[in-house]
Protein backbone atom coordinates (compact mmCIF):
# COMPACT_ATOMS: atom_id res chain seq x y z
CA UNK A 1 0.00 0.00 0.00
CA UNK A 2 1.15 3.51 -0.70
CA UNK A 3 2.03 5.86 2.14
CA UNK A 4 3.45 9.29 2.81
CA UNK A 5 5.35 10.49 5.86
CA UNK A 6 5.85 14.04 6.99
CA UNK A 7 8.21 13.67 9.94
CA UNK A 8 7.80 17.20 11.30
CA UNK A 9 4.54 18.39 12.83
CA UNK A 10 5.80 21.97 12.80
CA UNK A 11 8.57 23.91 11.14
CA UNK A 12 9.57 27.37 12.34
CA UNK A 13 11.61 29.71 10.17
CA UNK A 14 12.46 33.39 10.17
CA UNK A 15 11.18 35.54 7.33
CA UNK A 16 13.75 35.80 4.58
CA UNK A 17 15.38 32.50 5.45
CA UNK A 18 15.10 29.41 3.26
CA UNK A 19 12.53 26.81 4.29
CA UNK A 20 12.25 23.07 3.81
CA UNK A 21 9.24 20.89 4.58
CA UNK A 22 10.10 17.21 4.44
CA UNK A 23 8.18 14.36 2.81
CA UNK A 24 9.04 10.72 2.17
CA UNK A 25 6.88 8.26 0.29
CA UNK A 26 6.35 4.58 -0.33
CA UNK A 27 4.63 3.26 -3.47
CA UNK A 28 4.59 0.02 -5.40
CA UNK A 29 4.58 1.64 -8.84
CA UNK A 30 5.72 4.96 -10.25
CA UNK A 31 5.16 7.80 -7.81
CA UNK A 32 3.00 10.78 -8.68
CA UNK A 33 3.67 13.32 -5.92
CA UNK A 34 1.85 16.46 -4.95
CA UNK A 35 2.14 19.31 -2.47
CA UNK A 36 -0.88 21.23 -1.21
CA UNK A 37 -1.23 24.14 1.20
CA UNK A 38 -4.16 24.80 3.51
CA UNK A 39 -4.85 28.13 5.14
CA UNK A 40 -7.11 28.29 8.22
CA UNK A 41 -10.72 27.36 7.49
CA UNK A 42 -9.98 26.90 3.79
CA UNK A 43 -9.68 24.02 1.36
CA UNK A 44 -6.47 22.68 -0.17
CA UNK A 45 -4.58 24.73 -2.72
CA UNK A 46 -2.39 22.95 -5.25
CA UNK A 47 1.27 24.01 -5.16
CA UNK A 48 3.14 21.62 -7.43
CA UNK A 49 3.48 18.06 -8.63
CA UNK A 50 6.09 15.59 -9.79
CA UNK A 51 5.14 13.23 -12.60
CA UNK A 52 8.36 12.49 -14.42
CA UNK A 53 11.37 14.33 -15.77
CA UNK A 54 13.43 16.91 -13.91
CA UNK A 55 13.92 16.17 -10.25
CA UNK A 56 13.48 19.85 -9.35
CA UNK A 57 9.89 20.92 -9.77
CA UNK A 58 8.83 24.54 -9.65
CA UNK A 59 5.40 25.54 -8.45
CA UNK A 60 3.21 28.38 -7.28
CA UNK A 61 4.19 31.26 -4.97
CA UNK A 62 7.94 30.62 -5.38
CA UNK A 63 7.83 27.09 -4.02
CA UNK A 64 9.80 24.22 -5.49
CA UNK A 65 10.31 20.59 -4.59
CA UNK A 66 13.15 18.17 -5.06
CA UNK A 67 12.36 14.59 -6.03
CA UNK A 68 14.92 12.01 -4.89
CA UNK A 69 14.15 8.48 -6.01
CA UNK A 70 16.94 6.78 -4.06
CA UNK A 71 15.84 8.41 -0.82
CA UNK A 72 12.13 8.22 -1.74
CA UNK A 73 11.78 11.86 -0.75
CA UNK A 74 9.98 14.87 -2.14
CA UNK A 75 10.92 17.83 0.03
CA UNK A 76 9.24 21.22 -0.42
CA UNK A 77 11.53 24.23 -0.48
CA UNK A 78 11.46 27.98 -0.82
CA UNK A 79 14.56 30.17 -0.99
CA UNK A 80 13.13 33.04 1.06
CA UNK A 81 10.18 32.54 3.40
CA UNK A 82 7.38 35.08 3.88
CA UNK A 83 5.12 35.52 6.89
CA UNK A 84 2.21 34.89 4.52
CA UNK A 85 3.60 31.38 3.84
CA UNK A 86 2.50 30.36 7.35
CA UNK A 87 0.00 27.56 6.79
CA UNK A 88 -0.48 23.79 6.88
CA UNK A 89 1.32 21.88 4.14
CA UNK A 90 0.39 18.43 2.90
CA UNK A 91 2.37 16.02 0.79
CA UNK A 92 0.36 13.45 -1.17
CA UNK A 93 1.01 10.52 -3.49
CA UNK A 94 -1.02 8.83 -6.18
CA UNK A 95 0.18 5.37 -7.12
CA UNK A 96 0.14 4.50 -10.79
CA UNK A 97 -1.19 1.04 -10.06
CA UNK A 98 -4.52 2.42 -8.86
CA UNK A 99 -5.59 2.12 -12.47
CA UNK A 100 -6.12 5.69 -13.40
CA UNK A 101 -8.07 6.51 -10.32
CA UNK A 102 -7.59 9.78 -8.51
CA UNK A 103 -7.13 8.53 -4.98
CA UNK A 104 -4.54 10.52 -3.09
CA UNK A 105 -2.85 9.33 0.07
CA UNK A 106 -1.87 12.26 2.27
CA UNK A 107 0.75 12.80 4.90
CA UNK A 108 -0.24 14.08 8.31
CA UNK A 109 0.63 17.65 7.44
CA UNK A 110 3.33 20.07 8.58
CA UNK A 111 2.45 23.39 10.15
CA UNK A 112 4.80 26.05 8.83
CA UNK A 113 5.27 29.15 10.97
CA UNK A 114 7.24 32.04 9.52
CA UNK A 115 8.17 34.74 12.04
CA UNK A 116 9.45 38.25 11.59
Binding status of residue 65 toward another protein by CB under 8 A = no
Q: Cα 49 vs. chain centroid, distance in angstroms?
A: 8
Looking at 80, 96, 113, 115, which residue binds another protein (CB under 8 A)?
96
Q: Are 67 and 35 in contact (CB under 8 A)?
A: no
Binding mask 23-62 for another protein (x = CB under 8 A): -------x-x-x-x----xxxxxx--x-xx----------
Beta 10-14 vs 31-38: how paired, if at all?
unpaired
| Residues sharing a CB contact under 8 Å with residue 57, sequence separation 6 or more, in sequence order | 48, 49, 50, 64, 65, 66, 67
Number of residues that bind another protein (CB under 8 A): 28
Question: Which residues are at the interface with another protein (CB under 8 A)?
Answer: 30, 32, 34, 36, 41-46, 49, 51-52, 90, 92, 94, 96, 98, 100-109
Amino acid sequence: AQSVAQPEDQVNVAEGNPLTVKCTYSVSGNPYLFWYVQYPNRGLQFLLKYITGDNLVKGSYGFEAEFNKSQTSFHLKKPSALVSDSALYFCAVRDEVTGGGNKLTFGTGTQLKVEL
